[in-house]
Amino acid sequence: MIIEQIILLNFKKYAREHLRLGPGVTGIFGANGAGKSTVFDAICWCLYGVTPALGREGAVIRQEDLVRDGQEDMGVEMAFNHGGQRFVVSRS
């Protein structure tokens, strides 16, 4: 699977973010608390409806905790290629 883009709307600390990923290896760098792990949480939530923290037994994070503070709606859209076909997955 090759991820082309990720769009986050009111997901954790991101109000609206459009990430475009190019071919090859992608690195995500930033200071502590910058939102690097949030990108991976968004990918997992978009594809499977859970994040690593939500899926762990005994986790205290609820899906409602993923919504940006002060907002009611959230969503993630992800476009990727797999096996020569392009897919777009959206969850809100």
- 3-state SS string over the chain? CEEEEEEEEEECCEEEEEEECCCCCCCCCCCCCCCHHHHHHHHHHHHHCCCHHHHCCCCCCCHHHHECCCCCCCEEEEEEEECCEEEEEEEC
pLDDT of 16 reads: 96
**pTM of this structure:** 0.84
Q: How many residues does the chain have?
A: 92
10-residue mean pLDDT profile of the chain (92 residues): values are 95 94 88 90 90 65 80 93 95 93
In angstroms, the CA 82 to CA 3 distance is 9
